[in-house]
Amino acid sequence: MSNLPDDYLTYSNRALGMDHDRYTWSQLHERPNVTWPNGARVALWVVTQLQWFPMDMKPGVPVPGGSVRPYPDYWNYTLRDYGNRIGVYRIFKVLDKLGINASVAINSALAERHPFLIEQINQRGWEVIANGLDMGHPLHSGMDEAEEAALIKGVLDSLRNLSGQPVRGWLSPIRSESFNTPDLAAANGIDYLCDWMNDDMPYAFETKSGTIHNMPHTTELDDQQILINLRHTEQEYVDQLKDQFDCLYAESEKYGGRVMAINLNPWVTGQAYRIKALEKALSYITGHDGVWSATGADILDAFKAQA
């Protein structure tokens, strides 16, 4: 093993604020209060992820939920595919029943395979968020910039064409970014990112193509994280969603409107034995006065109007 170079003990970004220029340092509780439409206290942002895990995945970074068995891995492929055939419609039924206005983050390759899914989203007036190409193509710094640029442009062209929507939001597969991802997304007309999980509110995010925003969208409440990775029970999942809501709802009295994002994977929460847990949690939340169920773009626009 060789010794470290001398500059290992040099700290070139050691200064007030962040060690990069993407956003400014700001504490949540010191910001001006935000008011949501009709005086709502919490903007509820439900995001269903529709993803395709191809059998020949060779991602440059590990992909949770991807194949862990030798090829041909019908096990993992078909279990994920269950979500897009069965689970998603259980989730949509619950959202319909509760009158929830939602966003759907979708891989463009899946939308191309099954345009029926886009029709289902559009019929409900829901928002399409771009979730990359497929789960075999996470973005990362090992990628050539031109390759990443072409991938992002291709994804957005495809989803805009299929959905007829402007597609303003970007969620990277497994939230994995290269250093260039925000610039490339913004250059292709993206208004907001969902990858960074460092806040409870939208905040301004700097790119080479100007200021966009990052929306609060976290793995803390992600069903895959709670139920699969952490192996909590369905009841614990319900409790966590309710606890998160209770805290944000209470805080909103003093600090103004808050955002609660819930990320759903149909192959997880769309299982027959889990769907009632989701319904229970969402019923609790939407049963409160002052809950505004909205898409990411709606929330961002209301936020920007006050910034």
Partner 1 sequence: MLREPELYDYSPMCDRPKITWPNGARVAFWVAPNVEYYEYDPPQNESRRPWPKPHPDVVPYSHRDYGNRAGFFRMMETMAKYGVRGSVSLNVAICQHHPELIKACNDLDWELFSHGIYNTRFTYNMTKDQERTMMEDVISTIMDASGQKVDGWLAPSLTYTTNTFELLAEFGIQYTCDLFHDDQPQPVNTKSGRLISVPYSLEMNDTVVLSMMGKSSRHYTDILKANFDQLYEEGAENGQVMCIPLHPFLIGQPHRIGNFAEVLDYITGHDDVWVTTGREIAAHYYEHHYDNVVASLTASRNARGGL
Residues that bind partner 1 (CB under 8 A): 54-56, 69-72, 74-75, 77-79, 81-82, 84-86, 88-90, 92, 113-114, 116-117, 120, 228, 231, 233-234, 271-276
Closest distance of CB 267 from partner 1, Å: 9
Q: Which is nearer to partner 1, 61 or 68 (CB)?
A: 68
CB of 6 to partner 1, least distance (A): 45
Choose between 239 and 251: whose C-beta lies nearer to partner 1. 239
CB of 75 to partner 1, least distance (A): 6
Q: Residue 193: which H helix or E strand, with range?
A: strand 192-193
Residues 87, 65 contacting (CB under 8 angstroms): no
Smallest separation (angstroms) from partner 1 to the CB of 181: 24
CB of 185 to partner 1, least distance (A): 25
Instruction: Determine the number of helices (DSSP H) and then strands (DSSP E) in the chain.
Output: 11, 9
Eight-state DSSP code of residue 215:
-
Give 29 or 231: the residue with its C-beta nearer to partner 1. 231
* 240 close to 226: Cβ distance less than 8 angstroms: yes
Per-residue DSSP letter, 91: H
CB neighbours of 243 closer than 8 A, spacing ≥ 6?
none
State which H helix or E strand residue 244 sits in.
Answer: helix 234-255
Which helix (H) or strand (E) segment holds residue 204: the answer is strand 203-207
- Closer by beta carbon to partner 1, 20 or else 231: 231
